[in-house]
Amino acid sequence: MQGTIDGISGEPHRSQVFRLTYKGQDYQLVLLKKSLSKLDTELPISLDGIEQKIVKKGDQWFFENRHSDQHFATAIWRNLSLRYRL
């Protein structure tokens, strides 16, 4: 498992690597935040080694800087929320 750098304190912390299969393709997902809450509206993630952010608008999740598949962002949130029992 790789350590990630906390953007605020600069200290490395360990994050669990999640595997997600979406539309027949496997992805590796790492949450780049120490804790997760049901009230979060932004989540920094590493998706296959590329840092991205998903944001919540209303009841839906979207990628911040891309017009990517909104259902994929929702599947990522579902995967994380099931793991953290939110």
- Residue 72 φ/ψ, nearest 5 degrees: -65, -45
What pTM did the predictor assign?
A: 0.76
Residue 24 is encoded by which pair of tokens? 């027949």
pLDDT of the residue at 84: 83
Cα 47 to Cα 17, 29, 50, 73: the distances in Å are: 10, 5, 5, 11
Report mean pLDDT in 10-residue bins for the chain, 86 residues. Answer: 49 74 94 89 93 92 83 92 83
pLDDT for position 9:
47
* Residues 55 and 42 sit within 8 Å (Cβ to Cβ): yes
Residues in Cβ contact with 82 at an 8 Å cutoff, skipping those fewer than 6 apart:
none
